[in-house]
Every structure is written in C-alpha cells, then in structure tokens.
Structure 1
Amino acid sequence: MSLRKDTGEWRLLRFLNDLTYEFLDLSLPRSYRSRTALLRAFFGLDSKSKKFTESDWQRYKKLFSATLTRLKRKGYIVRQRTGNQFSWKMSQQGKKTIEDFQGDVLPEDGISRLFVFDIPESKRYYRDWIRIELVASGYALLQKSVWFGTRPLGESFLKELVGKDLFQYIHFFEVKDEGTLRNLVPEQ
C-alpha cells in the first residue's frame, strides 16, 4: 500500500515513529487540552488566532481517530491492549515505511543554506507542509518563513515543490564562501 508524504496519515505515522512513548501518553482527553493543542498544532489543525469550541474539539477528535483507523487498516500501526488500557504501536510495515522515507534526508555537508518562502493564505496547507518537511530535514526557523540548514534538501521534496507549483513562492540560497560581506565593504 502506498502512502503520500503530504497527508495527515504520513504526519501521524512519522509522529508515532518519532515520539512513540510520548504519543502513548496522549489519549486526547478533554482535561489535557494543553497537550492536545500541541498535537493538533503539530498536524496543522490549529490556527494561532482561533479559539476552539466544543464542536471543533469533537471534529478534531474524530479526524484523529479516523486517521488512526486508516493507518491500522493499511497495516502501519497496531492497537494493543494491556489490561484495560489500549495503546498504539508502529508495525514492522510502518517502521519500514518511515525508514524508506527517512532515507531521503541527506547528510550534513557543512554548506549553510537559507530556505525562504512567501506562500499566499489560499495555499496555507502547503506552508504547514513545507515547515514539517524543513524540520524533518534538520532546518531551523530563523524568522517567519526563513529557515536555515546545513544539509541539502531531498530530491523527492524538491520534486513535490515543483509538482505542487510552489517554486514561484520560494527562494533557496547556498552560502559557499564565508566572509562575502567583508569583501563588499572596503576596509577603513
């Protein structure tokens, strides 16, 4: 079964892989909204300016549950019972899928890179997706929509940017020579 990287299923599967133990503690109960708000923000479900109503809470809970069910049906995760408690665990197929995708993260080469994007609000989903991909590639946020990293971006990510017609909103710089600013300013 195939899994696309720009889906909620992919984000949840990667989250399960990276934070398995923390995830098991997060069962999304209403009394732990501070923890679930972070999880919803991780998946791009929250807007910083939005106040969540009870109906929002129920809708996101159903969405999350449905995503878990799809991952289970596709064989990426398994549900385990310990006593009267249930938990989710990555299956071997899920682990292999994550390993295959993580092979796309290239090693650091020491070249400083800036990734800058200005994507319109109408394509907000893509902004969130790009942020997730940059974090997964080891890039750090310098300021809003300006990211810094020391490794090349994966070929599949770049192809997806082209496929989603996002190149017109993106600038990517590599700093190969140190001290270039000093060369532009005459010494005094």
Structure 2
Amino acid sequence: PRTFVWTGYRTNLNYSNLYKTVRQLRIKGYLETPREGRKILLKLTNKAKEELILKKLLEGKSWDGKWRIVIFDIPEKQRKVRNSLRNKLREWQFEQLQKSVWVGKKDVSAEIKKFINYLNIPQWVQVFVADKI
C-alpha cells in the first residue's frame, strides 16, 4: 500500500490551517490520527477510501441517456436524515429541481437504495429511472 511519510518541516506551512483541516477530517470520519511514540500519524479511514473509490468510479462512467430521479417527503423531525440524503445526492452529482426532487445522470441506483436503507427512510423516498424529464 502507498504511504506518505512527512518527516521534515516547512517554514511556509500554516500549522493553524493544517490543524483545523486535520480536525475537520477527523470529525467527518475521514482521518484517523494514531500515535506511534512521539509521532502522530495521519491515516485515511475506510469511509474515506470508499468515497474516493466511488468518486473515481463515477468520474469514469459515461452517461447512459437515462435520468435518475429521487423524490422524497421526509418529516421535519427527521431533518438531519433529510440533510444527509441531500448531501449524498450532491456528492453523486445530482441537481435539485425542487426542494425534495433531485435528478442525476450517473447510474448510482444501487448506491442510492443502499443509502436509503442505511438511513432507514425507504417509506419516504422514491427512486425512478426515466428517459426524459
């Protein structure tokens, strides 16, 4: 496996920005910072690796001429879940037609269904494939 080891110091590196960036990546679950003696290691999590692989796969696929349409009506009590779904749709390069209607060109139907089940919201979400919109 590829490993990046940084052992030197750069005088033009803004350590405050580096610390903030590493902290945000840890909070989002993309980075682990195990210690090895006095050294702090930066290690990508499985979540980060999976998302990088998915992004690479999405970039490589050409459009098959079909639209994926996601329509949802998630209750206000489930706002965080609704926002998670919207964020994931953006990651998958979907565009918002209305507040709860999104369309995309990439064939990620299987991933969408898995994510909907993971969030436990299939009763509030419909996924369609269409030739025209």
Question: What TM bracket, shorter-length normalisation?
Answer: 0.5 to 0.7
Q: TM-score, normalised by structure 2?
A: 0.58
- 1:127 aligns with 82
Structure 2 vs 1, CA of residues 66 and 92 (structure 1 numbering), >3 Å: closer, same or farther?
closer
- Unpaired runs of at least 5, structure 2: 1-16, 36-41
- 1:142 aligns with 97
1:114 has 2:69 as partner: yes
- 2:31 aligns with 71
C-alpha separation in 2, matches of 1:110 and 1:171:
20
Measured after TM superposition, the shift of residue 104 of structure 1 is 5.8
Q: Which structure features the higher share of helix residues?
A: 1
1:102 has 2:55 as partner: yes
Across the two proteins, how many residue pairs are aligned to each other?
Answer: 108
- 2:9 aligns with none
Q: Alpha-carbon deviations, 1:83-130, whole Å to 9, x = none?
A: xxxxxxxx6746x71423435648332212321111111211111111
- Unpaired runs of at least 5, structure 1: 1-23, 29-62, 76-90, 180-188
RMSD (CA atoms): 4.0
C-alpha separation in 2, matches of 1:110 and 1:74:
46
- 2:12 aligns with none
Q: TM-score, normalised by structure 1?
A: 0.43
Structure 2 vs 1, CA of residues 133 and 105 (structure 1 numbering), >3 Å: closer, same or farther?
farther
1:172 has 2:132 as partner: no
Measured after TM superposition, the shift of residue 150 of structure 1 is 1.4
Structure 2 vs 1, CA of residues 130 and 68 (structure 1 numbering), >3 Å: closer, same or farther?
closer
C-alpha separation in 2, matches of 1:103 and 1:109:
17
Taking CA–CA contacts closer than 8 Å with sequence separation of 6 or more, which of the two structures ends up with the larger relative contact order? 2
Q: Which structure features the higher share of strand residues?
A: 2
Paired AA for residue 131 in structure 1? R
Structure 2 vs 1, CA of residues 104 and 117 (structure 1 numbering), >3 Å: closer, same or farther?
farther
C-alpha separation in 2, matches of 1:160 and 1:170:
11
Q: Alpha-carbon deviations, 1:123-182, whole Å to 9, x = none?
A: 111111111111111110111111111122253442131233211101222222x59xxx
C-alpha separation in 1, matches of 2:25 and 2:53:
25
- 1:162 aligns with 117
Contact 1:115 1:170 in 2 (8 A): yes
